Each structure stands twice: as structure tokens, then as C-alpha cells.
Structure 1
Amino acid sequence: MDKDLHISAAENWYSFRINASGELEFKRVALWAADKQGSVRGLVSGTANKKFANYLYNALYAHGGYIHWDDMTPDQQKKAKQDSQIDIDRLKELQAEDANA
């Protein structure tokens, strides 16, 4: 994808894929990014390690796609909530590291 030309919020959108274990996995899409060719991708947040706490990355999956919350079944909504929960202990750890930096 070339340089992004337009970014907008992705309210209530999720990316989904079938992971290596064959299970359905969801990630909340934070932003939509479009390039000059008109390609659109969802960006989701991730964590690499303590040094680089948070970043956005392309959510395209070979065995998945995007789905809006309103189009999910109740079971899918439950799974999406579980997969998208914030780890409060990790958040506190990162905040403490930021305060000490």
C-alpha cells in the first residue's frame, strides 16, 4: 500500500480471522486508512514488547476480513468482547514505566 492519504475512525468495526489453532479471533479496528489507489485497510492496535508498547498495524488477514458489531451473532459479540479486553495489569505496568522514564 502506498502512502496513506485519508484516515478515519472505524467505530464498532472488527477484523476477524481463523488462527493457527482453527479458532475464530477478533481484533477491534481503530482506524480505516486509504491510499491514492483507493485501497482501504483497517488498522488495529498491538503490543510488541515493553520498549515499544503500542502501535497500529494492518489488519488484513489471509483467512478473514472485517465485520461490524451490528452484523455479529450474540456468540461472535461475546468472543469479540473477550478478544478486545484491555489487560489492566499490563496497562498499569506501562503507565509506571512511562512515569519513571
Structure 2
Amino acid sequence: MARLFITPQAKIDLGDIWSYIAQDNPAAADELLGQIDTAFGLIAATPDIGFRLDMIRPGIRCKPVKRNYLIFYDHREETVRILRILHAARNYEDML
């Protein structure tokens, strides 16, 4: 299993996601963060699980979570870096 490193920007993304959803439904916000955490484990265990985004930025992969959120990451040697967690409707190409 690869070592997981969550970048400072990804940590900010997580906080923003939770805060936005929790305004209306704190339980749903907690559930989504749990699903994202589960996805982190899958990515660490199988780094090639996400689809490649070489046309946007070489080496970047993306793993969808609960249809609406995307985890962007790269994998080098034994480390997976979680770069961003963004809503699928956002213009993520400019944010990576």
C-alpha cells in the first residue's frame, strides 16, 4: 500500500466541502467525508484505480466519489499525493 499524503490545498477543499454541505445537513456532510476517506484508502491500495488526466496535467489521476465529487491525485514511487477534492461541476482544469 502506498503512503498517502494530503496536500494543504486538499485539506482546505475538505473543510470547504464539509462546511458547505453542513449548512443544510451536517449528517450528509459527515457521510460524504466518510466516503471520501474510504476512497483515499482505495487509492492508496490501488493507485491506478483513477482515470488518467494526462491531457490536462501529465501524471494526474481522478477518482469520482458519490457522483458529484472528484479526487485528483498523483502517484510517485510509494507515495500518493491527494492534490484537490472538487465538485464535478467546477471548472477543475483551471484549478489543478
Instruction: Please indicate the TM-score interval, normalised by the length of the shorter structure.
Output: 0.3 to 0.5
**Relative CO higher for 1 or 2, CA cutoff 8 Å, sep ≥ 6?**
2
Q: Which has the higher helix share?
A: 2
> Which has the greater radius of gyration?
1
What is the TM-score normalised by the length of structure 1?
0.31
Q: Which has the higher strand share?
A: 1
What is the TM-score normalised by the length of structure 2?
0.32
